[in-house]
Structure 1
Amino acid sequence: MPKLKREDGGEAATDYVESLDRGLRLLQVFGTRPGAMTLSDIARASDLPRATARRILLTLQRGGFVTSDGKLFALTPQVLTLASSFLRSSQLVGVLQPVLDRVAERAREIASLAVLDGQEVVFIARGGPVRVFSGGLEIGYRLPAFCTSVGRAMLSQFSDAELRERLKSAPLQALTPQTVTDPRRLVAMIAADRNNGYSLVDREAEPHFRSISMPVRRYDDVIVAAINIGSHVDRISVDEMIARFLPLLQDAAASVRPQLL
């Protein structure tokens, strides 16, 4: 067991466990490319010594999270229990999932729930007009916050000064020809979203996709997530998105607010 450094007052200065951090980092490497990987590939991608990566992989294999044929390593379905634990324990998902399903049925498009994680958004739930999903963003999918409607809806909780500071450290890389990367324009656009109470992003994150999002507020008015409806540009115009989808999202966000603690 690692020893904890202590301050003069006797309190632990850090509870950091390096081996756990390395193990989690190594698990994330598998999501960077399809298929099984060699030990050398995993060590290189996780920036770990080969011997360290091997020990971690063998530990994960014993726990049932990794399988190997002696040369290649791959994740097992056991890894999904980590994500399902979050989904089962998340109040947001529990409260919003039936709401997303209703919104999706009425819109006849996929509705999604996302949270802010640093400079990115993570999609944690979605509903579809039917229970067999054939498209849309997968649960766990990440995108930059600055160029997505869910991201801008959540970023609207910050003041203009706070936004400027956040954008200084954000990798403002264009994902499509329409992506806005100028920090001054972004601050102005997010400020407009704040005033409007919603965000609409047109082909900035994906070339043929537009979406509209509402911030999700808990009982004390703090923004904790965002819900959105997205569509291919050939199916829904910007005006129709505002006319048809915005009222659905507004009603959905208002209905869950008293339930979120």
Structure 2
Amino acid sequence: MTPMPSDDSAPTLKPGDSYVQSFARGLSVIRAFGADAPRQTLTEVARRCGLTRAGARRILLTLQTLGYVRAEGRLFELTPKILDLGFAYLSSQPLWQFAEPLLQQLSSELKESCSIAVLEGSDIVFVLRMPTRKTMGMTLGVGSRLPAWCTAMGRVLLSALPNEEREAQLAKLPLKAYTSRTVRDQQELNVAIEQARQQQWCLVDQELEDGLIALAVPVTGRNGRVLAAINISTQASRTPPQILLEQGLPRLQETAQGLSRLLQIKG
């Protein structure tokens, strides 16, 4: 089973001086492509974006002219040039430049996959990943999204939000059962997130995928603001939760603190 990003309900916006509807529609067309639908017909794109065929066609042809989309017969797909948009963000943020060698060292020492993610809406988005052995059924990389509420990094990031903002986000989410262990009760989920806030770490044991365990801690910038989360992920058959806590948490916290210091000095 492949977890899908949660479906955020975007606010209703009207065209005006501060909102360009055609640009927003172009972004929605780009976002329509993903691992579940890498190649689509015009009709499929229009349906996924809530556009007319004529509207979707104009946007796709514009993206094709700019080199972000290519067509093969009736099918459209993104080109590697689309990565320019993501790398523009990554290269503009000092966090990822400082983080890569630290994350690489952590992953090498623990011989486990390590990642850094940020909160975007009700999802986490991976901005850096050092995979070792395969821990998940799905392939994750920079730009991959997972639902925040049932991931260790997501709960760490959600715990840093003001209470009202966090409660508003969680209230509108369908708490899907990814495994038999997935927390689906709102009150229980709130308790888990509050616990993550108090202890400054979170362990999620096979809630997103059977066999997958992840441990995460926050990364802070100036003024103590949480900017990202860093994690270790492993398989329960290889590293039980208690062993992951005993062996991984101290090194994970040390890495996060080192990165936080660099951000406070140079960020």
Identify the TM-score tier after normalising by the shorter chain.
Answer: 0.7 to 0.9
Aligned partner of 1:52 in structure 2 is 55
Q: CA-to-partner distance for each residue in 1:61-84, whole Å, 9 max, x for gaps?
A: 111111113422121111121122
Alignment coverage as a number of residue pairs: 247
Aligned partner of 1:100 in structure 2 is 103
Q: Distance in 1 between matches of 2:138 and 2:170?
A: 31
Contact 1:121 1:143 in 2 (8 A): yes
**Do the aligned partners of residues 27 and 196 (structure 1) sit closer, same or farther apart at CA in structure 2, a change above 3 Å counting?**
same
User: Which residue among 221, 243, 252 is the counterpart of 2:246?
Assistant: 243
**Do the aligned partners of residues 129 and 43 (structure 1) sit closer, same or farther apart at CA in structure 2, a change above 3 Å counting?**
closer
Deviation at 1:253, TM superposition (A): 1.1
Q: CA-to-partner distance for each residue in 1:71-122, whole Å, 9 max, x for gaps?
A: 2212111112112222222222112111110110111011100101111111
Q: CA-to-partner distance for each residue in 1:186-222, whole Å, 9 max, x for gaps?
A: 1111222222220000001111100000011113111
User: Which residue among 108, 111, 116 is the counterpart of 1:113?
Assistant: 116
The amino acid that maps onto 2:249 is L
Contact 1:110 1:136 in 2 (8 A): no
Q: CA-to-partner distance for each residue in 1:104-144, whole Å, 9 max, x for gaps?
A: 011101110010111111111012459xxx98622111111
User: Which residue among 35, 39, 43 is the counterpart of 1:36?
Assistant: 39
Q: Distance in 2 between matches of 1:24 and 1:160?
A: 30
Equivalent residues in 2 for 1:1-261, closer than 5 Å: 5=16, 14-31=17-34, 33-128=36-131, 137-158=140-161, 163-260=166-263, 261=267
Contact 2:38 2:78 in 1 (8 A): no
Q: Distance in 2 between matches of 1:29 and 1:194?
A: 34
Contact 1:160 1:187 in 2 (8 A): no
Q: Distance in 2 between matches of 1:135 and 1:73?
A: 23
Q: Distance in 2 between matches of 1:157 and 1:56?
A: 38
Gaps of 5+ in 1: 6-13
Instruction: Give secondary structure in 2 for the equivalent of 1:224.
Output: strand
Q: CA-to-partner distance for each residue in 1:24-56, whole Å, 9 max, x for gaps?
A: 101111216344221111111111111111111
Gaps of 5+ in 2: 1-14
Instruction: Give secondary structure in 2 for the equivalent of 1:48.
Output: coil
Contact 2:156 2:218 in 1 (8 A): yes
RMSD (CA atoms): 2.1
Q: Distance in 2 between matches of 1:248 and 1:58?
A: 49
Q: CA-to-partner distance for each residue in 1:204-256, whole Å, 9 max, x for gaps?
A: 11111000000111131111110000001111011110111101111011112
The amino acid that maps onto 1:139 is V
Q: Distance in 2 between matches of 1:48 and 1:152?
A: 34
Q: Distance in 1 between matches of 2:122 and 2:50?
A: 22
Could you state the TM-score of these two structures normalised by the residue count of structure 2? 0.86
Q: CA-to-partner distance for each residue in 1:152-188, whole Å, 9 max, x for gaps?
A: 1112224656543332122222211111011111111
Indicate the structure (1 or 2) with the bigger Cα radius of gyration.
1
Which structure has more RCO (C-alpha within 8 Å, separation ≥ 6)?
2
